[in-house]
Structures are given as C-alpha cells and as structure tokens.
Structure 1
Amino acid sequence: YSPSIFVMENVKGILSSKVNDKRVFDDILIDLTDPDSALNRVGKGFKYRICSLVSEQVFRAGDDPKSIDPNKFIIRAENHSIPQARHRVILVGIREDMPGTLGTLLINDHVTVEEAISELPQLRSKLSKGKDSAERWKKIVKDQLCSLAKITTDKSLSNELTNTAYEIIENGTTGNLRFPKKGYSSECRSYNSNLIREWFSDNRLQVWLNHETRGHMDSDLGRYGYAAVFAKINNRSPKGHKEFDIQGLKPEHKNWESGKFSDRFRVQLKEYPSTTITSHISKDGHYFIHYDARQCRSLTVREAARLQTFPDNYFFQGNRTQQFHQVGNAVPPYLAYQIAKVLSDFFNNIK
C-alpha cells in the first residue's frame, strides 16, 4: 500500500529478542526501510526512514543498526500524562519522498493513581464463597485486620491495621455495569492537567460504566487489606514471604519461600503512576490491589480503564474477563491521541 506514514508498536522485549544469536530488531529496522527488498518483489521502490517519537533518532535505508541506540525508540507512557508506567517500543515510518521532520511527544508531569481513580465511588469487594452481604463482608475484613494487628510485631503497622478495621467503608455497595453517580461517596482529587480532565469527562453521563467489583476469597481479603496498609506506611508493597511471614497471610504455594513470588501481592501506590496494566488483571487481583485498605479489594474494570486513559463514556462489553482483556491489551488512548497529533502536525507543516 506504500502509506505516507505508518506506526508500529510492540513490547520492549523486542529490542533484546534474538534468533540464531542475531538480534531481531536489526532485521526489523532494515526491512521496514526497504519493504520491497524485504519481500523480494518489484514494487514502487519507496523507502522509509524510521523515526523515534521521543528523540531525534532516525534510521534510514543503508544505515548500520549497530550505529543507533534501540532504547531511544522506547516510549515511557508515564512521561506523557498517562497514569501508568507502560514502556513500549513505537516506531514511525515516513516515506522518503515526504519532506519535513517529525516532532516528538511533549514531556509532561506524572499523573498519579490517586488523581486518576479517587473520584470513582468507593466500593467493597464481593465475596466469592458463602452469603454475599455488606454486613458479612465488613465482619470478615474487620476480624481479619484485627487479628493481623495482634500478630504483627511492627507497632505502627499494628496500629494502622486496627484503625483501618474500624474505618471500613459504610455504604457496602459492590457497584454495577451502570452505577449511579449520585448518592455514593468518593474522595475526589482533581487532575493536575485540565486536558486529561477533559479527556475523561462526559457531562451527559449519569452513571459510571463498568465500575463493579469482583468476588474475593475470605483469606484474600486479609491479604489485600494488610498489603494496602503496609503500602500506606512504607510507600511500597510488601515483598513476598519475608514480609508476608504472618500466620494467615501465607498463600498455600509449595514454592512460596523460593523468592519467585516476591511481588505476588502488589498495591498500586496512590502517589505514583500504576504499574503496567496487562490482560493478566483478568485472572486475579493480586497484582492490582487498590491503595485504599478500607475498600479491601482489587481494581474494577473502570479503574483499570482510567489508568489506561479510556474516556469514561467508553463502555466495555462482554463478561468481566473479556472487559479486562480489552483494557489490558490496549495502547492507552490518550497516548495514541498524542501520537496522532504529532503525525497531524507533520502533515500540516508540509507546504
């Protein structure tokens, strides 16, 4: 098709991938600059220059791949107002007959998890086993946190666990696919970017879409609550068996103490961008624990969607697993918008 411009996206691991001890990325660059030669065909003869969106680096036909720094093609989403540390390789190919120089993405302040999701209504998790009710949920969480407070030897952690046990959210709702905006509490924080704020909002919406919790096992409620309280005090998630070495917290994994599960329970820290939202979020919530221990749960689809910068009026269909897959497999829409803006400016500058 010989497009004027193309954009290619892949995971960061593509930079180090090798076949027969040869770096795959070198072949990708060479092939993209001269697609007719790569396909061994007679075509229009167009060649492409491969540009970075975050540096002035350009790779042209005939260049030696070893002469450039592949890392300069990595886009770190958190540097561009995305509330998530998502690192991806993104290449822009420009046909050689197209004049001009491609611009780069603007560097912006980091947007935190708290700024992204705090205005969403507070929810409790569902209970995956037994009767599901707000009263039973509160009793389970309160009992578990109080028990953990008595066992731990860390006084500050013990006090915070006890305090949290008596501050559990009161409304006890688990949300819904279409959850009313009025009548439910949240802790609203405003974005440090008006553009991001405008990007999410749609004043026509009277509901929050896809803001519904999943069910957790009773034992995981204690783990989530403990991890969130630990993160609040230490500004990091607890590390594996060394900091989960408390009766009632240890998962029944044969290899739990091997060190391979050090990040098994990961809290999304409220004062930083989140870790990468992946499709694995559909499997369980262990890697995506809400920072607010009073809610004692993993993230909802809408919270994950906000960290990915889907506008609030984007409705995810299918079951919850399918919804999480759609969120986790996406390129952040606001990052895609910024990339499109750079390309649009390139075209508009051509006389």
Structure 2
Amino acid sequence: MSTIPIIDVFAGPGGLGEGFAGFQASKGFPFKILLSAEANHDAHSTLRLRAFQRALLTSGRDLSHLLGYYQGNHDEPYTQDTKGIWEEASQEALCLELGSTNGDKRLYKELESRLDASKPWVLIGGPPCQAYSIAGRVRNKGNADYVPSNDSRHFLYQEYLRIISEYRPSVFVMENVRGMLSCKIDGKLIAHQILEDLACAGDRCSLKSGQGYRIYSLVSSTYFEHGKDVSKVDTKEFVVKSEEYGVPQARHRVILLGVRNDIDVRPGRLSRRGGPFVEEVISDLPLLRSGFSREGDDCDKWHSHVATQLWDLASCAREAGMPELAEDLDEYGFMVQSNSLDRDAQEKRAGGLSTDLPPLLNEWLTGIWPEACFNHETRTHMASDLRRYAYAAVFARTYGRYPKGVDDFSLPGLAPAHENWTTGKFADRFRVQQEGRTATTITSHIAKDGHYYIHPDPSQCRSLTVREAARIQTFPDDYFFSGPRTSQYTQVGNAVPPYLARQIAEIVYDLLQQSN
C-alpha cells in the first residue's frame, strides 16, 4: 500500500497526529499527515515546527540549525536553504477555526485541491471538550443564563461529521473526554447522538447499503452501526484507560474508531501493557530548583529558605509525635542545603532514560537529539507553597501516599488561606506525583498552577516542568512546544498521548492492509 494520507482536525499540538506519523511498519512509515488544522496560534506554531522537522528528516537535510532555534540561538527555525521546506510545512499545518465561515472555507478549499478521497485515507481529531467535561458543566451550572442546547461547543463534533459526510474517509478516529458519556442535551445523552450521527455519516435519510460506518471500541468487542438500538449500547466500553496500554498516567478518554461499511474487516484491539511509573520516565532529566515569585529569585536564598522550612517542619513533626517523618524532613533539609541546583538546563544527565522502560517506549521518547533538553524550565513559587511542596514530597516518600486534607496538613504553616479548605472539597489541592505509581491525568489545569503536579523529589521542591509533563504524556524529547510556558502546559494537557496514538495507528494500518 502506498502512503496513507492523514487529515488531523482540532489537532491541538499534534499528539494524535504524531502517533500516526511516527508509526513505523516493516516497509517504512505508512502514514503521512496531509493537513492538520488548529485554531490556537501557539498550538499551531507547535504543529508547524513539527511538520518542518519531519520534512527535514525525510529530505535528509541537516537539522543543526533547527536544534539551535529550539535552544534559543536563532531567530528563525529555517535557513535560506530550507525556507522552501518551511513554507511547505506551513501549507501542511493550517491555523484555522473549524465552524467559522473563513475557517471552513479555507479547509474545504485545501481538501478539494489536495485530497484524493477515492483512495484510502484517515481522518483523526478530538473536537474541543470544554462543554462535555465534568468541570466545565459544573462551571456552567453556576450561570443562571446558561442553556446547554445554545452552547455551540456541544456541536463542534458536527464539523468533524461534515468532513466524514463530504469526503468519506476509510477510517476515522475521534477522541474526547469521558465526561461526554454523561452529558445530556434536551434530556438525551450526547454520546448516543454522536454515535448515531457518525454511524450514518450525517445523513440517515439517504443512507444506502455500504454508506455508513461501524463505530468500534478499541478495548472491547462493543461496536455500533445504523439500525441497532443505541440505548442498548454501553458507551463506557469506548473508554480507553491509557495506563493499561503503556502510558505512564491514568488518563481515561473516549476514543471512537469508525470503519466505513464497505470495508469488511473488523479492527483489532489495543494490547494491554502496564504503564511505567513516574520516576521511570522523568528521573533522568536534569535536577532543577524552582524560583521565588515574590522574594526575588536567588539560588542561595532558595536553598537556604527550603532547607530552613524542612528543618522547621521536622521540629513540628517531632512535637506532633511523627518521628519517622521528622527524621526524613531533617535529612532532606541537609540535602537541599548541600545541593546547588539551577532553574533551567539544556543538557541531560548521563545515562539516559530508565533501562526498565520497554524498548519501544524508550526509543519513542528519546528523540533524535539524546543530548538536548527542551521546555525544561521551572516555575516560580511563593515561599508558602515551597513549604507545602517540600513537606508533601517528603510525606509521600515517608508514608507511600501523598498528604490529603486537613489532617495531613495539620503542621503549622501548611494549611492554605482558602475559605473552603476545612470542608474537604479541596483535600487534593496539593498532590505529589508519587514514585512507584503512574501519574494522575495531565490536564490543561496544569497551566494555572502546579499544586496538583508536585515533583516526587523533595530536594527539587517544585511542580513539574513542561518537559516532564510531556514525558508523562509520551511526547518524544525532540518535540518542541511553542509559545509562553503557560500555553505550553495547556498544549501538553490537552493532547492525546502520542504513544497511545501510535498503537491506534498500528490497528488502523493492519485493518487497511487486510482490506486492501
């Protein structure tokens, strides 16, 4: 089979597309991203850079200038010699908003001129999920004027559906949050509506034999097709738990695999493989300290402050009858005092990724520049949060669980000045990503603060960097995220884990090979 075109819409920074583009079969890379579309300018910039890097690799060009750009040594990612390739990458990665008049017009113009829909091709993407998410719906309930059926975000999947109806891909992959399964519009589950619409390719009235789609689960035998009673479908069977498929985080998402009815092949399923632990995917990265957000950043001041906080907490723990915790707090106080950590680093420590990782994941994460380290700079934290972070990380190592709620944060100076702190609603406000476990879900909330993403090493006393979050999301180390750091965090949190997407790509490839 010749190269299979991929159209990636609502692409974000490209996690789903990276999995397909990076999947390697016995005869090379079978998938090629023909077009990707994203509305956010920073995420689009990330997409464009990745498209450029792939094109340079394919053409056999030297990538040293691009590496220098990633490291901040050049103003532009291209040279005069590679500017043409950059312009081609700009045609692949489009910055447009699906659902807008101008965005739709541009996308369909590009599809008409560049996509040969008579040959096998694949549509991928995840329509924005804010309206479906549990957190988003809670926020909407607080708005007395909010009417779900008037929220256009609920129906962005119809833009995805329109492409299916117009160009009839051989296969499509659609991803969304688990909250979609319980979301209702006018009393009807939106998940049932989506299944019915996708199965009929958007037009039940004119549906003829062979025209619709069968919608498969990637983890069970469940599927849906036109004519079945959608109310009998257990939509939870479409939920993929990433940690069960080699991804080091508990990320649960709805993933629908649509296969055109004239393709008489049933797709395979994801093969279970336990996700590695947090420390196995981030411990080789350079040790970094955080910074002060108000006191003025200074290396010596930071080390002195954190060590003093740990020793003070040790004294408080002894008085509270917690000798084991007190001993560990003391020990890490001396460790922080003796270390001399920077706030950013361009070089990795020797040794590379953990040898305990599966070889395929190790190779996937390493990237083409094993010596380089991008997007690995720390946030600044308030002095009070440094006390909490240091305490929480030591507590997790001492007791094998992260501290939770009022009782665990009872030592002086730990309870935050939050009016609802004692109600228990914010018991998880400070959460350590624990060693010996997979990480909790990396979400876009990581862009707001790092309280839920505290580094497991107490001596670093900080939240995760963008690179560490990207590692947990299984982005390769040579994947560069554009824009301000807050935007980089958001991009990572919104993405599909590329290593999971790579496994989906393998299923799609095998299906198309069999159908061919």
Correspondence for 1:180 among 336, 342, 347? 347
Structure-2 residue corresponding to 1:26: 192
* Alpha-carbon displacement from aligned partner over 1:260-312 (angstroms, at most 9, x marks no partner): 10000000011111000011111111000000101111000000000000000
User: Is 2:175 aligned against 1:9?
Assistant: yes
2:174 is paired with a residue whose SS is strand
User: Is 2:445 aligned against 1:269?
Assistant: no
> How far 1:258 sits from its partner (Å)?
1.0
Structure-2 residue corresponding to 1:340: 505
User: Is 2:334 aligned against 1:166?
Assistant: yes
> How far 1:206 sits from its partner (Å)?
3.0
Structure-2 residue corresponding to 1:59: 224
Distance change in 2, residues 1:158/1:187 (3 Å):
farther
* Alpha-carbon displacement from aligned partner over 1:116-160 (angstroms, at most 9, x marks no partner): 101101111111122322211111001111111111221111111
Alignment of 1:63-82 (within 5 A): 63-82=228-247
Structure-1 residue corresponding to 2:479: 314
> How far 1:65 sits from its partner (Å)?
1.7
Q: Is the contact made by 1:118 and 1:186 (CA closer than 8 Å) also made in structure 2? A: no
Structure-2 residue corresponding to 1:234: 399
Q: Is the contact made by 2:432 and 2:453 (CA closer than 8 Å) also made in structure 1? A: yes
> How far 1:191 sits from its partner (Å)?
3.5
Distance in structure 2 (CA, Å) of the matches to 1:330 and 1:45: 33
Distance in structure 2 (CA, Å) of the matches to 1:203 and 1:350: 34
Distance in structure 2 (CA, Å) of the matches to 1:226 and 1:124: 15
Q: Is the contact made by 1:120 and 1:186 (CA closer than 8 Å) also made in structure 2? A: no
Q: With the length of structure 2 as denominator, give the TM-score of the two structures.
A: 0.65
Distance change in 2, residues 1:130/1:90 (3 Å):
same
Q: Is the contact made by 2:325 and 2:398 (CA closer than 8 Å) also made in structure 1? A: yes
User: Is 2:287 aligned against 1:122?
Assistant: yes
Structure-2 residue corresponding to 1:151: 316
Distance in structure 2 (CA, Å) of the matches to 1:88 and 1:14: 9
Q: What code does the residue aligned with 2:196 have?
A: I
1:346 is paired with a residue whose SS is helix
> How far 1:24 sits from its partner (Å)?
1.7
Q: Percent identity?
A: 47
> How far 1:42 sits from its partner (Å)?
7.9
Distance in structure 2 (CA, Å) of the matches to 1:272 and 1:55: 25
Q: 4+ residue stretches of structure 1 with deviation over 4 A?
A: 40-45, 184-188
Q: What code does the residue aligned with 1:23 have?
A: L
Distance in structure 1 (CA, Å) of the matches to 2:341 and 2:369: 27
> How far 1:36 sits from its partner (Å)?
4.0
Q: What code does the residue aligned with 1:32 have?
A: L
> How far 1:175 sits from its partner (Å)?
1.1
Q: What code does the residue aligned with 1:164 have?
A: Y
User: Is 2:446 aligned against 1:281?
Assistant: yes
Distance in structure 1 (CA, Å) of the matches to 2:494 and 2:203: 32
2:330 is paired with a residue whose SS is helix
Indicate the structure with greater helix content: 2
Q: Is the contact made by 1:210 and 1:300 (CA closer than 8 Å) also made in structure 2? A: yes
Aligned length in residues: 346
> How far 1:229 sits from its partner (Å)?
0.9
> How far 1:18 sits from its partner (Å)?
1.4
Q: Is the contact made by 2:352 and 2:370 (CA closer than 8 Å) also made in structure 1? A: no
Q: What code does the residue aligned with 1:170 have?
A: N
Distance change in 2, residues 1:295/1:308 (3 Å):
same
Q: Is the contact made by 2:215 and 2:256 (CA closer than 8 Å) also made in structure 1? A: yes
Structure-1 residue corresponding to 2:248: 83
Question: Which structure 1 segments of 5+ residues have no match?
Answer: none
Structure-2 residue corresponding to 1:97: 262
Q: Is the contact made by 1:4 and 1:94 (CA closer than 8 Å) also made in structure 2? A: yes
| Structure 1 range deviating more: 236-245 or 158-167 | 236-245
Q: Is the contact made by 1:54 and 1:75 (CA closer than 8 Å) also made in structure 2? A: yes
2:391 is paired with a residue whose SS is helix
Structure-2 residue corresponding to 1:253: 418
2:369 is paired with a residue whose SS is coil
> How far 1:67 sits from its partner (Å)?
2.2
* Alpha-carbon displacement from aligned partner over 1:165-191 (angstroms, at most 9, x marks no partner): 111261321114xx123xx58896324
Alignment of 1:201-240 (within 5 A): 201-240=366-405
Q: What code does the residue aligned with 1:86 have?
A: R
1:10 is paired with a residue whose SS is strand
Q: Is the contact made by 1:36 and 1:45 (CA closer than 8 Å) also made in structure 2? A: no
Structure-2 residue corresponding to 1:301: 466
Structure-1 residue corresponding to 2:201: 35
Q: What code does the residue aligned with 2:501 have?
A: A
User: Is 2:514 aligned against 1:349?
Assistant: yes
Q: Is the contact made by 1:10 and 1:88 (CA closer than 8 Å) also made in structure 2? A: yes
User: Is 2:449 aligned against 1:290?
Assistant: no
